[in-house]
Amino acid sequence: MFEQTENPEPQKPTDWSGAIIGFALLPVFFIFMHVGKQDLGLGVCVCLMGILLAVKLRWDLRTKPWFWGVVVLVLALNMPLIVMVKWPTDGCQQEVCCPSPLLIAWSPWELLAASRSTW
């Protein structure tokens, strides 16, 4: 009655990369908070989180040298975003802060996808 006719698929292990990225960025934020630049530290963490998310999504391309070139290019292009945008440190609404890393991650992810198809 409750017999399985097919072998069940093995479960994949839990992917903890998002939590690892978050914990890895905590010291960066604490360094900026210690210096007194909380707004700059929040901007750095948001941008780095988005870029690291994009790198994680395209990790299969890590052996290609142009992959790391695109990552460095995206880091350089995000420097003005980090320095010029004043991120709120008190009472940042989720509607404002949450989409930012996703948009930052989407741009290099699409750039990597486009460059992957040309190489």
Position 62 pLDDT exceeds 80: yes
Range of the domain at 79: 25-118
In a domain, 4, yes or no: no
| DSSP letter for each residue of 31-86 | HHHHHT-HHHHHHHHHHHHHHHHHHHHTGGGTTSHHHHHHHHHHHHHHHHHHHHS-
In a domain, 48, yes or no: yes
Higher pLDDT, 39 or 68: 68
In a domain, 11, yes or no: no
User: How many domains are there within the chain?
Assistant: 1
What does DSSP assign to residue 1?
-
Lowest mean pLDDT among 13-17, 59-63, 91-95: 91-95
| pLDDT class of 27 with cuts at 50, 70, 90 | very high
pLDDT score recorded for residue 95:
53
